[in-house]
Amino acid sequence: MDHFTYKNGELYAEDLPVATIAKEVGTPCYIYSTATLERHYKVFSGAFDGSNALVCFAVKANSNLAVLKTLANLGAGADVVSGGELQRALAAGIPASKIVFSGVGKRPWEMETALKAGIHQFNVESEPEIRVLSEVASRLGMEAPVAFRVNPDVDAKTHAKISTGKAENKFGVPWQDVSRIYREAAALPGIKIQGVDVHIGSQLTDLDPFNNAFKRVRELVEDLRREGHDITQVDLGGGLGIPYDGTIPPSPASYGAVAIEAMGNMGVQLIFEPGRLIVGNAGILVSEVIYVKQGAERKFIILDAAMNDLIRPAMYDGYHHIDTILEPSSESIRELADVVGPVCETGDTFARGRELPPVEAGDLVAFRSAGAYGAVMASTYNTRPLVPEVLVNKDQFEVIRKRPSLDEMLELDTIPTWLDNGK
């Protein structure tokens, strides 16, 4: 459920016509809905009412400070994967005690910042990493609270590029080494073993892989406890999918039931790291049709948004539903077209052979479900300014990241002195 709906014949974001925002901010632009963010967070966290659970929003899905602050106000924690994301989460008012730090390549300065901030947990992904963390913590006279991310070797049955829980993936410590790694880590100075972490992939639309992974983790916790480790935290990661193309994923409630069935009576604090589920359907990308071009074999709708603004279709074959901002009448014919951007890459194609109502130059369209892994993955390829972001709250909106000017972009480059010729 989201708050982007047709009213009076045009698409609204909550109580505001999308066209009004697009006119003021320009296109392309991302528009997020506060009510949708809040609803999704509450539905997810509500699945764990009465359980000892900490919901840590996966900041990499959407790291805008205004989005983070909206979630912080609801009590969300954060799952961060870099020193930069840690700084964002703290700046948005998420308490360090609700922040977990994931990622395979943490550097000493990032560990130091996180230790000094007093984060809840490091999700450690390798033996070299735990040795560096031990050194950093010892040097500071501190103790790092640690869970190892384990690789349960389960198939998440999702796109290969967002599958993370198979033995062949770079994530987590190998299942057969877990026992030894915990034993050795427990003996290291500056390390406090407290948990187990697992995250098997993203956009999962089936509960079986979660169920398999969570049951394996349960057995692991029992084994580790027998081996003398005081496991009080179990981080079950993120990954629950959203409906992009009509496939309806399991509800947070049924996902929660699977987690609680596996772990509920273990006497641990459960940690969840949902990203896409919270922000995905809370955002749209609005774009203007530049040209409609009849090619030799097919029709192309050329938009002012491109792969640099929304890379999911090019990178993951991601599907986004595309709506016209004007509500099509039920009788209006549909035409097949390829929807593309202006970037000089064949990969800059949002949809092939998509059925759409007739559009012409100057019309606005909206990519639905663009709130997760959209703006955060944007680049300036083709010297296209980073796409701006807007947050709507009922009948108000504000720009929460502005579009940089071309001058601002060019100012980041410098001409070396030997090319400058004193001019």
Ligand X SMILES: *Cc1c(COP(=O)(O)O)cnc(C)c1O
> Contacts with ligand X in 38-97 (CB under 6 A)?
58, 60-61, 79
Q: Do 112 and 140 contact (CB within 8 A), yes or no?
A: yes
Q: Of these, 33, 202, 212, 287, which contacts ligand X (CB under 6 A)? A: 202
> Contacts with ligand X in 346-405 (CB under 6 A)?
372
Confirm or reject binding of residue 216 to ligand X (CB under 6 A).
no
Smallest distance from the beta carbon of 212 to ligand X, in angstroms? 17
Confirm or reject binding of residue 275 to ligand X (CB under 6 A).
yes
Smallest distance from the beta carbon of 387 to ligand X, in angstroms? 20
Q: Of these, 77, 172, 237, 250, which contacts ligand X (CB under 6 A)? A: 237
Rounded CA-CA distance 45/48 in Å is: 6
Q: Of these, 40, 216, 276, 401, which contacts ligand X (CB under 6 A)? A: 276
256 class by beta-carbon count within 10 Å (0-12 exposed, 13-18 middle, 19+ buried): buried
Confirm or reject binding of residue 102 to ligand X (CB under 6 A).
yes
Tell me which stretch binds ligand X (CB under 6 A): 17-25, 84-92, 126-134, 270-278: 270-278
Confirm or reject binding of residue 199 to ligand X (CB under 6 A).
yes
Smallest distance from the beta carbon of 13 to ligand X, in angstroms? 22
Task: Enumerate residues 6+ apart whose C-beta is below 8 A from 330.
Answer: none
Smallest distance from the beta carbon of 158 to ligand X, in angstroms? 9
Instruction: Please give the DSSP secondary-structure letter assigned to residue 397.
Output: E
Smallest distance from the beta carbon of 165 to ligand X, in angstroms? 11
Smallest distance from the beta carbon of 37 to ligand X, in angstroms? 14
Tokens of 81: 């994967």
Q: Which residues does the annotation mark as catalytic?
A: 344
Tell me which stretch binds ligand X (CB under 6 A): 19-27, 272-280, 323-331, 332-340: 272-280
Q: Of these, 145, 152, 165, 274, which contacts ligand X (CB under 6 A)? A: 274
Q: 3-class DSSP state for residue 363? A: coil
Q: Which residue has the tokens 């039931």?
A: 257
Q: 144-151 and 191-197: which strand pairing?
A: parallel
**Helix (H) or strand (E) segment spanning residue 116:** helix 108-117
Which CB sits closer to ligand X, 151 or 393? Answer: 151
Q: Report the chain's terminal Cα–Cα distance, integer Å.
A: 58
Rounded CA-CA distance 60/143 in Å is: 26
Tokens of 145: 């609270």
DSSP character string of 129-193: HHHHHHHHHHHTT--EEEEEEEE------S-GGGB--STTSSSSEEGGGHHHHHHHHHTSTTEEE
Which CB sits closer to ligand X, 153 or 273? Answer: 273
Q: Of these, 28, 239, 249, 318, which contacts ligand X (CB under 6 A)? A: 239
Which CB sits closer to ligand X, 106 or 199? Answer: 199
Tokens of 195: 């948990």
Phi (first) and psi of residue 242, to 5 degrees: -125, 160
User: Which residues here bind ligand X, judged by CB under 6 A?
Assistant: 58, 60-61, 79, 102, 199, 202-203, 237-239, 273-277, 372
